[in-house]
Chain A
């Protein structure tokens, strides 16, 4: 049986990712997810003052800098026992939601749906509709996503002065209160986005869409009206299922969510007791039960990573990040391999929705499992939930105009000790673990959503989630493996994929 290796580079704003796949007779028999860029943020933070993390960590990512900032400030507040007023939580939540909405819309309609316009699908009945809606720069939905997605983060700029890389969250709150001008301007931005989302993406009003509670209700809705069928989510669903994406790309059955958005009604408590608007938990894929989440169960392995070796897995508070590039060994990535309860897990909008018991997503999951279509569908379902929630938050801020946006900490210095900050970024569970000794940072460990999902093999040789979602896949044309593109993009790795065929040196592009 012929054997070949293909390598897929995933060029991302926030770091470089490659896939190296081994094919036998067109079937993927091994996969290696390669983080090809070492960042070194954890080392940069060592010996700095603790609050430097508020300026440095938002630079980790050009897409989810708000999430990094939120995790950093939560770690400082956890360490210092610093309370936060409800208004500050609302502003933080609002901004984090805006960032997630932008990321989800761009992921969906700039990257994922463009693959439906691949020439391979020309014989399919959906092809002309796909081009009319999703063709890059020409399709109506692609153009709409380009225009509307760029404005939603202006809400962050209103409160944070800039986006990306803002530093407006401080221990005890945020730098700016929600003035009536901020609220009105934010509502204006949100209204425009919501109108476009209702008209072009879901083909109905937000409340009706969110009222769909089960797989049966959704599939009945899908064909009930032309506006539903021809909405972006209708087209995306019908095209995905026509090519069988609901049968592909499952990966690990274990799912993790840190919970999303601190609950302002629970402002009197501290993490990890503080409640979230969307629940935290661990979906045990063996039992199907959602178990309480406990951050102490997290470890990171480096057996297949380019870091100085240690045995087994270590909790981030015992974590070690010492680069040790060994290109000619069996180590293959700059990503560590995080595990939860020693299990390979996935994180992201599908995990978040299932753990939060979102009825429609749970129903679809029970019917067909956690496939590539449902993973992408969950992302768009989340957009609707967040647009709804953002409006609620703005109304809550308007209803409490004089609430404090900051509770000044008793002391300006962060004491020695340790703390962690856990948030839900656009791509899933993001955590910062911080230790302060003699007034400076002695250890800082960041475990990103992509570290969870793009993890390499661990000490036991178990593949990470993305890797396992590709193993077993049959590719029609190894020179143009569009199936791989669908699955990889459903995981939200971000930008364009190019394919290098190593055995010939020939370079081809995974369309577009």
Chain B
């Protein structure tokens, strides 16, 4: 498959930290779906800088993560990397966090893939909990639908 045609969906999160596991839960649903050959789904978990690998060999990437201070709890947001530029601490931060990863990507990859960030405003990061809060849980299937829609465009 030519590089220009590949599209990656990369999900971030810590499934042992309550709502911080949102991205991982979305991955679990996306992974069960059938996708065309030019779409790959990755569970980046808390990979930090190691997730740079998932951003190679693709022309488009959708990053899925939990958000803090972007809207009302349960609200799904679609962001561009530039929306994070002045908010380095706003994502929940897995390892170094998405803003750091995206800055690092600029150093190691040129040209950059087209990137969208899909996330949900979460209620709470709860250590030692593998359960999502109600509103975050409800956002999971909606996010899956949204991503399918984005990729059908």
A residues apposed to B, CB below 8 Å? 11-13, 16, 36-38, 62, 106, 110, 136-137, 143, 146-147, 150, 164, 325, 495-496, 498, 509
Task: Kindly list the 6 A-B residue pairs having the minimum CB-CB distance in the complex, ordered from nearest.
Answer: A13-B95, A137-B103, A13-B48, A146-B107, A143-B107, A146-B104
Known contacts A325-B128, A495-B95, A509-B89, then 11 further A-B pairs from the complex at CB < 8 Å, ordered by chain A residue: A12-B95, A13-B47, A37-B127, A38-B128, A136-B103, A146-B104, A146-B108, A150-B49, A150-B52, A164-B50, A496-B96
**B109 to A, closest residue via Cβ:** A147
CA gap between A150 and B56 in the complex, in Å: 13
| Residue in B closest to A163 when the chains form the complex, CB atoms | B50
Contact among B16, B52, B106 for A137, CB-based, below 8 A: B106
Contacts of A11 in B (CB 8 A): 93, 95
| Contacts A37-B127, A150-B49, A150-B52; A495 near B108 (Cβ below 8 A) | no
Near A by CB (< 8 A), chain B positions 19-71 give: 46-50, 52
Known: A62-B50, A495-B96. A150 touches B108 (CB 8 A): yes
Residues of B with C-beta under 8 A to A37: 16, 127
Cβ A147 vs Cβ B107 within 8 A: yes
Which residues of chain B have C-beta atoms less than 8 A from A496's C-beta?
93, 96-97, 100
In the bound complex, how far is the Cα of B108 from the Cα of A62, in angstroms? 20
Q: Nearest-CB distance from B127 to chain A (Å)?
A: 6
Please name the residue on chain A nearest to B128 by beta carbon: A38
| Complex CA–CA separation, A137 to B99 (angstroms) | 12
CB contact under 8 A between A16 and B127, given known A137-B104, A509-B89? yes
Shortest distance between the CB of A34 and any CB in chain B (Å): 11
- Which A residues are CB-close (under 8 A) to B108? 146-147, 150
A106 touching B103 in the complex, CB below 8 Å, given contacts A16-B127, A509-B89: no
When the two chains form their complex, are residues A137 and B95 in contact, meaning their CB atoms are under 8 A apart?
no
A136 to B46, CA, bound (A): 21
Would you give the shortest CB distance from A163 to chain B, in whole angstroms? 8
Bound CA–CA A239/B46 (angstroms): 33
Which single residue of chain A is at the shortest CB-CB distance from B48?
A13
| A147: B residues at CB distance < 8 A | 107-108
Contact of B127 with A36 in the complex, beta carbons under 8 Å? yes
Residues of B98-150 contacting chain A, CB below 8 A: 100, 103-104, 106-108, 127-128
* A62 close to B128 (CB less than 8 A): no
Q: State how many angstroms separate the Cβ of A306 from the closest Cβ of chain B.
A: 11
Interchain residue pairs with CB less than 8 A apart (13)? A13-B94, A37-B127, A38-B128, A62-B47, A62-B48, A137-B106, A146-B49, A146-B104, A147-B108, A164-B50, A496-B93, A498-B89, A509-B89
Residues of chain A within 8 A of B103, CB atoms compared: 136-137
Shortest C-beta distance, B91 to chain A (Å), equals 12
Q: With the chains together, A495 CA to B52 CA distance in Å?
A: 16
CB distance from B69 to the nearest CB of A (A): 11
Cβ of B106: which chain A residues have Cβ within 8 Å of it? Answer: 137
CA distance A27 to B104 in the complex (A): 36
Q: Smallest CB-CB separation from A507: which chain B residue? A: B89
Q: Which residues of B contact A36 (CB under 8 A)?
A: 127
CA A146 to CA B93, docked complex, whole Å: 19
Q: Give complex CA distance A136, B103 in Å.
A: 9
Once the chains are docked, how many angstroms separate the CA of A62 from the CA of B14? 13
B107 touches A137 (CB 8 A): yes
The answer to whether A106 and B49 touch (CB under 8 A), given A12-B95, A38-B128, A495-B95, is yes
Residues of B within 8 A of A13 (CB): 46-48, 94-95
Complex: how many Å from CA A143 to CA B49?
A: 13
Chain B residue contacts of A110, Cβ below 8 A: 49
A198 to B100, CA, bound (A): 27
* A428 to B121 alpha-carbon distance, docked (Å): 39
Query: What is the chain A residue whose CB lies nearest that of B104?
Result: A146
Closest CB in chain A relative to B77 CB, distance in Å = 22
B100 nearest CB across to chain A (Å): 8
Q: Which residues of chain B come closer than 8 Å to A12, judged between CB atoms?
A: 95
Task: Tell me, in angstroms, the Cα distance from A36 to B17 when the chains sit together.
Answer: 11
What is the CA–CA distance of A498 and B97 in the complex, to the nearest angstrom?
13
**B107 contacts A495, CB within 8 Å?**
no
B127 contact set on A, CB distance < 8 A = 16, 36-37
Bound together, the chains give a CA A150 to CA B109 distance in angstroms of 12
CB nearest neighbor in A for B16: A37
Q: How far, in whole Å, are A200 and B48 apart by their CA atoms in the complex?
A: 25
Q: Which partner residue on chain B sits nearest A136 by CB separation?
A: B103
CA distance A509 to B100 in the complex (A): 15
**Assembly CA distance A498 to B16 (angstroms):** 21
**Interchain CA distance A137-B47 in the complex, whole Å:** 19
Residues of B contacting A495 in the complex (Cβ-Cβ under 8 angstroms): 48, 95-96
C-alpha gap A137/B106 in the complex (Å): 8
Provide the bound-state CA to CA distance between A164 and B44, in Å. 12
Q: How distant is the Cα of A103 from the Cα of B126 in the complex, in angstroms? A: 29
CB distance from A387 to the nearest CB of B (A): 21
Chain A residues within 8 Å of B104, by CB: 137, 146
Q: A495-B95, A496-B96 are in contact. Are A62 and B46 (CB under 8 A)?
A: yes
Return the chain B residue nearest A111 by Cβ: B96
What is the minimal beta-carbon distance from A147 to any residue of chain B, in angstroms? 5
Residues of A within 8 A of B128 (CB): 38, 325
Tell me how far the C-beta of B17 lies from the nearest C-beta in chain A, rounded to whole angstroms.
8
| B12 CB, nearest partner CB in chain A, Å | 12
Residues of B within 8 A of A146 (CB): 49, 104, 107-108
**Chain B residue at minimal CB-CB distance from A142:** B107
Q: Report the minimal beta-carbon distance from A489 to chain B, rounded to whole angstroms.
A: 14
Question: Once the chains are docked, how many angstroms separate the CA of A147 from the CA of B93?
Answer: 22
